[in-house]
Amino acid sequence: MPPWKGALSVEDRWAVIAYQHTFSGHQGPHVPWEHPEMVQMGHDIYRMACVPCHGLDGRGDGSVGATLSPNRAPQPRDFTAGLFKLRSTPSGELPTTADLFRTVTEGIRSRGGPLTFGLSGYRIMPSFRHMPEEQRLEVVEYVKSLNQGFWTRQDVKTVPVPAPPPETPERIARGRQH
């Protein structure tokens, strides 16, 4: 099978995979077992970049997490438990692939403590935006492989977030009053 990297963009390659799913009758989201080579590559990236916080087994029990203040920073996720803070899905649901991709890309900001004067608002989880997009997707596939829920879910519903209301002088005055 020829390699399509370079011939097709990352988006086009995902589009081909989505089309291919229709042959098998699989209508749900991408599942890790369909891309074992991506999971393997994601595992290698995970070992280099993610283990110190998220732990060798993805349980959020890396040695670094213990020194992050629980009052000021979200703790590294236990990927096996399936509880994620940053998601666009309803409570109790697993995040979408796009949610995970966004977290890996943007990192996580934190309030910081008194000793982080001047650095408050800086990230507690790094941004991996300079990691090539396909490698970020590979890491996401590996993370999804750690929880059975990603393997078995058939349907993904996101919470619709309406556009923010416009900032008008009346609205601001009412907010100040309250």
In the complex with other proteins, the residue whose CB is nearer, 38 or 94, is: 38
CB of 71 to other proteins, least distance (A): 10
Q: Which of 10, 15, 56, 81 is in the footprint of other proteins by CB under 8 A?
A: 56
In the complex with other proteins, the residue whose CB is nearer, 86 or 131, is: 131
In the complex with other proteins, the residue whose CB is nearer, 65 or 93, is: 65
Contacts of 31 (CB under 8 A, 6+ apart): 144, 150, 151
Subset of residues 57 to 96 that bind other proteins, contact rule: CB under 8 A: 57, 59, 61-69
The dihedral over CA atoms of 90, 133, 123, 56, expressed in degrees to the nearest 10, equals 80
135 binds other proteins (CB under 8 A): yes
52 binds other proteins (CB under 8 A): yes
Q: Which of 29, 74, 82, 107 is in the footprint of other proteins by CB under 8 A?
A: 107
Phi, psi dihedral angles at 110 (to 5 degrees): -140, 155
CB of 85 to other proteins, least distance (A): 18
CB of 6 to other proteins, least distance (A): 13
Q: Which of 93, 118, 123, 92 is nearest to 106 (CA)?
A: 123
Tokens of residue 27, six digits? 């209508």
Q: Which of 142, 122, 116, 118 is nearest to 48 (CA)?
A: 142
Q: Which of 74, 80, 126, 156 is in the footprint of other proteins by CB under 8 A?
A: 126
Residue range at the interface with other proteins (CB under 8 A); choices 19-27, 86-94, 109-117, 155-163: 109-117
What is the chain's percent helix, strand, coil content, to nearest 5?
45, 5, 50
Is residue 155 within 8 Å of 28, Cβ to Cβ? yes
Q: Tell me the sheet residues that pair with 125.
A: 108
In the complex with other proteins, the residue whose CB is nearer, 125 or 137, is: 125
